[in-house]
Structures are given as structure tokens and as C-alpha cells.
Structure 1
Amino acid sequence: MALESLRYRRGSLEVLNQRLLPGQLRYERVGGVERAWGAIRDMEVRGAPAIALLGCLSLAVELAGGEGPSEDLGALEEFVGQKLGFLLTARPTAANLGHEAERLRAFVRQRVETPGVTPQQLRESIIEYIEGLLEKDRRDNRNIGAHGASHILGRVPGGGPVTLLTHCNTGTLATAGYGTALAVVVGADRVTANGDVANKIGTFQLAVAARHMGIPFYVAAPSSTCDPTLASGRLIPIEERPGTELTHLGGVLLADPEVDVWNPAFDVTPHELITGGIITEWGVFAPSELCRALADRGKR
């Protein structure tokens, strides 16, 4: 049975603390947005889709528990907006949480403007909307796997065996429980308008090596990872982790106390190195075509 990054039922949420793996398998209670913010910031949960889900589900838990205004539609909308804004400060690089927050805000605005909606009905509809993201994530991930497998196998002469290298957390622990990349090579935390990709450190080196060896290089990511507002990877905010992650192990100092440390959590892979394509739940696209294709699809 595959591991689950999150366990959710109405009013209850647990996160698998990935910082303890593989030594411990421990699920910890997330009682609200503040605890989710800490889990995201401290990398207890990893993978852009799982980060977005944890943040939104933590808000659903608060709403199900009666948190927030109960008598005024505008006040409840403001409460949701403030919680989402706080969550967005946890991790700057991954795009999925920002996109889901934007969609949720738009949904709430639409419901507020619907004649006759009561605060309780608004609260219930927000919870149901967020719960729907779980199944959507699983459905999108299955589509990504199917599109990727079909595209890769279609390039193999005579249907011979395929050897694939994966990088980054793109399986069940990065999502709601199914996985994005499966065995399709790398995941992504943000894709810019020209097809440049930010992903966990080490992705760029693999892309360079694959290009040199003539091996197709793919990125697998849901459409919510794409950020057409950024022209290129040079504009992606790259999160830096504490230097102690490199200088300490189990609380033991392994380096000179005065050593300077640069510890970026991500690197950027230029679009020209993504020779296989970018795999989404809607199909496989050339990097330069991805954002335009997704924009066109969104107009339908």
C-alpha cells in the first residue's frame, strides 16, 4: 500500500512528517492554518501539489470547526483571504498553492455575490470546494502518468525496454496519494512562460547530463504549477534553506563554525534542456508551447 502524504476527513487533517523518514513513519495532527504553515515552511510536507492541498485543507478544518465570522458574508470572505495570504508566505518557490488560493478567492467572491446565500451556506460550500481538490489531484496525477507513459513508450523503437531516471519527490508523498511523475523523470515547483522550470536542487545537472548523452528529458507537473506571469526562470523566487541543514547532522557540527553557507532549495533548468517535453494532466507539450496551450484551454 502506497504511503499517503495527507490523511483527511471532514474536520480532521494529519500530515506525514517527511523529515522523519525513513527512520520514523509518523502522522501528526494539523488543527489549522498556523500548524499547516509550519509544516510547509519546515518541509515536513514536500511536493508542490501536496503543499497546496495541505494549506487549503487546513483552512477547511478551521471552517468545519467553526473558526471565523458566522454572521456576515463579507467578514467570512475576508477571514478566508487573510488565512490564504498567510499560507502563501510559507514557501515562495512552489506555484501550486498560489494558484489554488487565487481560484478559491474567486470561488468565494462568486458565492458571496449569489443572491440569498447565508454565511453558513458559504462556509459549507468553501469546505466542499476544498474537499473536491483531493479527488481532482488524484485524477490529474493519473492523467499525467498516462500521458507520460504513452509519450515515452511511443518513442521507443520496436517497443523495447525502457530505463528511466526520476528526480525529486514526484510520487505519492508529493501529492494527495497517487503521484505526478511516476517514472517520467522530474517534477517541478514552478514553470515560467518560456518553459523554464524550477525544481529541487540537482535537476539542472541531470538535464545537462541528459542533453550531453542524447537522453530525452521530461518534466511532469500539473497545470497549476505553470506561472505565465513570469517570463523566464530568472524571475523565479528561489527559496534558501537554513545553513545548518548542511553544517549539522543530528545536532552535531560538521563544519567550521564560521563557514559561510549558501543553501538554495531549488535550481532552474532552462527550457532548451527539456528535450522530451512537459507532461501535464492535459497532455505533453513542448516547453515553449505549454503556457499558451494551457491559456487556450482555459478559454474553452
Structure 2
Amino acid sequence: MMNSSFRTIVFDGEKLQLIDQTKLPAELCYLVVNDEQDAFQAIRSMKVRGAPAIGMTAAYGLYLGLRKHAHKDHEVFYKELYVQSVYLKSARPTAVNLAWAVDRMVAVAQRHPNDLVATTLERLKSEAESIQDEDERACRAMGVHLLEFIKEDMGILTHCNTGALATSQYGTALAGFYVAHEEGITIHVYADETRPVLQGARLTAWELQRAGIDVTLICDNMAATVMAQGKIQAVMVGADRIAANGDTANKIGTHQVAILAKHFHIPFYVVAPWSTIDPKTQSGLDIPIEERSAQEVIEWGGIQTAPKDIHVYNPAFDVTPHELITAIVTEKGTYHPPFKFL
């Protein structure tokens, strides 16, 4: 198992603790989630981020929020279940894992509609814990599958953060780096800074350096240069939603990296758990793209970096067309074009 000095998500049966990722890399500290409102705020403010991690946070948040209503009668409790589930799913719209985890929790309650409220709560607690356990196993499996594409001394470009901070352990795309490191395979990781919130600079660089993996931070607009210089032999990124045809939504800037990889004949791999695949979404055109505040673009750390009254467009994600993707790696295995996730 991965030897990590931190855990992103820690549940002790009574409360949920999350690394406050807005504090990294300067400070490693945890925030406490006591109910669905705390979970919503942590997800919305990106104190916790990464598609699998926000799904787990929502699942635990739903259980903790409903625990406050343990004394209510059956009808009131179930009404609260549906209200809280809708509320949590609205925190961020693009990552399908959020809705997947919440819907899975609701389905558990619906399968046993005549149970006592206390029994339903225990089932929900167990289901949230199962989601986390399954994520740990899935991440490790993705890392093992990625070894097929990782060779000694190769350079790999990644975008945003897809590591232990985005999941329960190991990560998705970064899982391959951790497993390679465990196997004694030397790799050289290049991490895009990932504007405007700098998840690559603040998070990916931090966790890989902490793990002893060779990592070099580059600005987003340097990707073409390092590719042209022959420093990159593969690109590995995560995903927030994968459509039935393989179109993939991921952090803004991923699409342009895929275009560059195609130009330089570099394989481009998407790595995500099966829960990220949304067969109900036919193509990338149907994926809702979250837009975030202008403040993320015109300020950093409270320092103004652009005119305050400037017009800003700040989509949090973009969609990489399936024809630019070499393969999609999940815990179930590797999938090559043509992608048909129906």
C-alpha cells in the first residue's frame, strides 16, 4: 500500500475531516465536516476537490446531515433525505462522481423503505464507507494498469491534480506515478501549474515532491516547448466526466494539452474510475461546464493581478474530444478507440 504521510479524507464514524486544499502548499491543516452544509461549502469553495474526493465528501455529508434528523418520523426523515441530496448535488455540476455518490446513497435508503430510521442511518454510514474503500482499491488498480505505458526514465506531463489529494489514496493519473515509484521505476514528471487556481503548482508539485518523485513545475504556456524539446513521452490526465463516446471533461486547459500532444505524436491518456463515465451523456456537447467567479482570475492571494472591472470568462473545465485520446484507463482496464460506454 502507498506510504503516505497524509490522508485527504478521514472519517472516524462521528465526523469527517478533510485537508483544506486552499491552504496548500504553505500549510497542511484539516477542516471538520459535521453535516451536509459543511460538506456543500467544502466542495463549492474547493477546499476539497477532485471528482472522487467530492463524491466521497458528499456521501459522508449526506449521512452526517441526516443524522441530525434521527429522531424524526419516517416521512419527515425521507423528505429530508431528498432535500439534502438535491442540495449536495448542486455544489458543483460538472464532476459526475458527485451526483453518482449521492444517488447511490439515496438508492440504499430506497431499497429498504420500511426500515427504522436508525437502521437506515446505519446503512447510509456503511455505504459511504464502502464508497471510500472501493475508491482506494480502484485507484491502486488504475496505477497498476498504467504501468503498461510507463517506461524507465520517461518524461510524463500531467495537468491539474489527480493524486492522493483528489481521491482517498494514490489518485487516478498520479496513481501510475506512485505505483511506478514503488516498483523502482524512475520517471520525470512535468506538472502544469494549472491556472487560475494553480492546482498543479500548489497540489501536484507538493504531493509528488513529498513522495520523493522527480517533478518539475512548468507554466501552462510552456507545454509546447517541453514537448518540442523531446522531454515528454506521454501525457496522463484525470477526468471529471466521460461521455458515452469518450469525450472527456477535465480541468480547463486539458483540451489544449491534448491538441499539442497530437501535434507532437505523444500519446494522451485519460485516467478515471468507472464512476466518472456517464453513459447518459452522449457526447461532450451535453456536459454542463461550471463557470466560476472572476475573482479567481483577477486576484491571487488577495493581490490584484488585473483591472477589477475587466470582463472575465472563467470556465472551470473544458472538453477534450475523443479523437484526441489515445486510451482511457479505469480500474476495470484500458479502453482504446472507438470508445462506446453505453
TM-score range, shorter chain: 0.7 to 0.9
1:230 CA displacement: 1.5
The answer to whether the Cα contact below 8 Å between 1:196 and 1:287 also exists between their aligned partners in 2 is no
What residue identity is the alignment partner of 1:240? E
Q: Tell me whether 212-221 or 97-106 shows the greater mean CA deviation.
A: 97-106
Q: Given the alignment, which residue of 40, 46, 62 partners 2:43?
A: 40
What residue identity is the alignment partner of 1:48? A
For residue 261 of structure 1, what is the aligned residue in structure 2? 312
For residues 167 and 287 of structure 1, do their structure 2 counterparts lie closer, same or farther at Cα, with a shift above 3 Å needed? farther
1:228 CA displacement: 1.4
1:163 CA displacement: 2.4
1:140 aligns with 2:138: yes
SS in 2 for 1:291: coil
For residues 250 and 163 of structure 1, do their structure 2 counterparts lie closer, same or farther at Cα, with a shift above 3 Å needed? closer
1:249 CA displacement: 2.3
Question: In the aligned structure 1, how far is the partner of 2:39 from the partner of 2:72?
Answer: 26
After superposition, give the CA deviation of every residue in 1:28-82 in whole Å (9 maximum; x if it has no partner). 111111011111111111100000001111222334xx41153533432332222
Q: CA RMSD in A?
A: 1.7
Q: Tell me whether 242-251 or 191-200 shows the greater mean CA deviation.
A: 242-251
1:282 CA displacement: 0.3
Q: Given the alignment, which residue of 301, 321, 324 partners 1:273?
A: 324
Q: Given the alignment, which residue of 157, 161, 165 partners 1:165?
A: 157
Q: Tell me whether 176-185 or 23-32 shows the greater mean CA deviation.
A: 176-185
1:251 CA displacement: 2.1
Question: In the aligned structure 1, how far is the partner of 2:123 from the partner of 2:302?
Answer: 46
1:138 CA displacement: 0.1
For residue 111 of structure 1, what is the aligned residue in structure 2? 112
Give 5+ residue unaligned stretches, structure 1: 293-300
What residue identity is the alignment partner of 1:238? I
What residue identity is the alignment partner of 1:11? E
1:82 aligns with 2:83: yes
Question: In the aligned structure 2, how far is the partner of 1:237 from the partner of 1:196?
Answer: 13
For residue 296 of structure 1, what is the aligned residue in structure 2? none
After superposition, give the CA deviation of every residue in 1:145-186 in whole Å (9 maximum; x if it has no partner). 111223x15xx6xxx643222222110000012211124710
1:2 CA displacement: 4.1
Q: Given the alignment, which residue of 194, 198, 208 partners 2:259?
A: 208
Question: In the aligned structure 2, how far is the partner of 1:78 from the partner of 1:119?
Answer: 12
For residues 287 and 3 of structure 1, do their structure 2 counterparts lie closer, same or farther at Cα, with a shift above 3 Å needed? farther
For residue 332 of structure 2, what is the aligned residue in structure 1? 282
For residue 286 of structure 2, what is the aligned residue in structure 1? 235
The answer to whether the Cα contact below 8 Å between 1:3 and 1:177 also exists between their aligned partners in 2 is no
Q: Across the two proteins, how many residue pairs are aligned to each other?
A: 280
The answer to whether the Cα contact below 8 Å between 2:247 and 2:283 also exists between their aligned partners in 1 is yes
For residues 45 and 71 of structure 1, do their structure 2 counterparts lie closer, same or farther at Cα, with a shift above 3 Å needed? closer
Question: In the aligned structure 1, how far is the partner of 2:81 from the partner of 2:16?
Answer: 18
After superposition, give the CA deviation of every residue in 1:204-237 in whole Å (9 maximum; x if it has no partner). 1111111111111100001111111111111211
Structure with more contact order per residue of length (Cα contacts < 8 Å, sep ≥ 6)? 1
Q: Tell me whether 141-150 or 195-204 shows the greater mean CA deviation.
A: 141-150
TM-score of the superposition, structure 1-length normalised? 0.88
What residue identity is the alignment partner of 2:139? N
1:27 aligns with 2:30: yes
